Amino acid sequence: MLKLGFNEATCMKKSNVETDLRLCEKYGYDYIELRLDMLKDYFASHSIQELQSFFAGSHIKPFAFNSIENINFNTPSDWEKLLDLFKFGCETAQAIGNPYMIVVPTVRDDMVTKNEKEVLEDSVKVLNELADVAKPYGVKLSFEPIGNRRWCCNSMRQAMEIIQAVGRDDVGLTVDCINFYLHDKGADIGYLRKIPKEKLFVFHINDCEDLPLGILDHCHRVFPGDGVIPVQEVCDAVQAVGYDEIASLELFRPEYWEMEPEDVIRIGAEKCHQFF
Ligand code: ZN
């Protein structure tokens, strides 16, 4: 069975690492996906030992850090900045036993001018480079295609082709309900059932409003079951391949950012449990 996870994007405007950890433990979440920017804020007034001792004494465990963004087609100076953040993530991950890092393709206006071959070649190169850096820390990369066309990798099929071309056991896929839906309204749900179990690392659960592609965006995410994504079918598909790890609630909805984090975290657990 899938296990309940919480992604810190969901309450990121009113909450912080300490609050998310306390509330997710209270409401029975199994895993948390910590955000790198929120971890940096946390370490301004807390130590790594405090984080280690929290996890040692709690049911909830860390699962994946979010996220290393814009990994493709970087200038050398942008790549150096990305590597600094990535190494901070790897060191922290190793210290608290967090197995995965989410890595995201590049979003930029000129990405629509890149063909799939160029995106594949660049992605294979940068994913190998990042995986080499992460390896000594025991951290694996979970590559997440983002469904909107402005991201250079925007379908599960394209991401899987890249991951297969990389061909290493420490680089796999993130399936996210809205990123799957944003590509073609989930027309090929059967594709999810063909993902090899060993390549499926992270599953993000969410739903969205009924809006046309091109208008629909991440701010339109809603609680699972409140929108138009066939969430049950997506959950069934990832479980059909044998995946039984995290279903992580990941929302970027401004309306929820204004709510009390405790309400969002409590309601979120109830909404997710309808599906597993
Ligand atoms: Zn996601």
Non-local (6+) Cβ contacts of 138 within 8 A are 93, 94, 99
The pLDDT of residue 275: 98
27 CA from centroid of ligand 1 (Å): 21
From start to end of 162-261, where are the E strands? 171-176, 200-205, 207-208, 221-222, 246-249
Across the strands, what pairs with 202?
A: 174
151 CA from centroid of ligand 1 (Å): 13
Non-local (6+) Cβ contacts of 158 within 8 A are 116, 119, 120, 145
Asked if 262 contacts 20 with a C-beta cutoff of 8 angstroms, the reply is no
Q: What is the mean pLDDT of residues 168-190?
A: 96
**Average pLDDT score over the chain:** 98
Q: Could you tell me what percent of the chain has a pLDDT over 90?
A: 99
63 CA from centroid of ligand 1 (Å): 13
Q: Could you tell me what percent of the chain has a pLDDT over 70?
A: 100
218 CA from centroid of ligand 1 (Å): 10
251 CA from centroid of ligand 1 (Å): 8
Helix axes 76-96, 116-134, angle to 10 degrees: 50
169: phi then psi, degrees, rounded to nearest 5: -80, -5
Closest CA to 10 of 221, 241, 246: 221
Q: What is the mean pLDDT of residues 70-81?
A: 98
For the stretch 86-106, pLDDT in tens is 999 999 999 999 999 999 999
For the stretch 252-270, pLDDT in tens is 999 999 999 999 999 999 9
223 CA from centroid of ligand 1 (Å): 14
Asked if 71 contacts 106 with a C-beta cutoff of 8 angstroms, the reply is yes
Query: Furthest-apart CA pair in the chain: how many Å?
Result: 50
Q: Which long-range contacts (CB under 8 A, 24 or more apart) does 87-91 make?
A: 87/133, 88/36, 88/40, 89/36, 89/65, 89/139, 90/133, 90/134, 90/137, 90/139, 91/137
For the stretch 196-253, pLDDT in tens is 999 999 999 999 999 999 999 999 999 999 999 999 999 999 999 999 999 999 999 9
Q: Is 38 helix (H, G, I), strand (E, B) or coil?
A: helix
220 CA from centroid of ligand 1 (Å): 13
205 CA from centroid of ligand 1 (Å): 8
What single-letter amino acid sits at 138? Answer: G
126: Cα within 13 Å, side-chain hemisphere: 26
141 CA from centroid of ligand 1 (Å): 14
44 CA from centroid of ligand 1 (Å): 26
176 CA from centroid of ligand 1 (Å): 5
For the stretch 120-138, pLDDT in tens is 999 999 999 999 999 999 9
204 CA from centroid of ligand 1 (Å): 5
- pLDDT range class, residue 152, cuts 50, 70, 90: very high
The answer to whether the pTM exceeds 0.95 is yes
55 CA from centroid of ligand 1 (Å): 23
- Cα–Cα distance measured from residue 87 to residue 109, given in angstroms and rounded to the nearest whole number: 28
Asked if 177 contacts 207 with a C-beta cutoff of 8 angstroms, the reply is yes
The pLDDT of residue 100: 98
145 CA from centroid of ligand 1 (Å): 9
The pLDDT of residue 53: 98
- pLDDT range class, residue 61, cuts 50, 70, 90: very high
67 CA from centroid of ligand 1 (Å): 9
What single-letter amino acid sits at 141? Answer: L
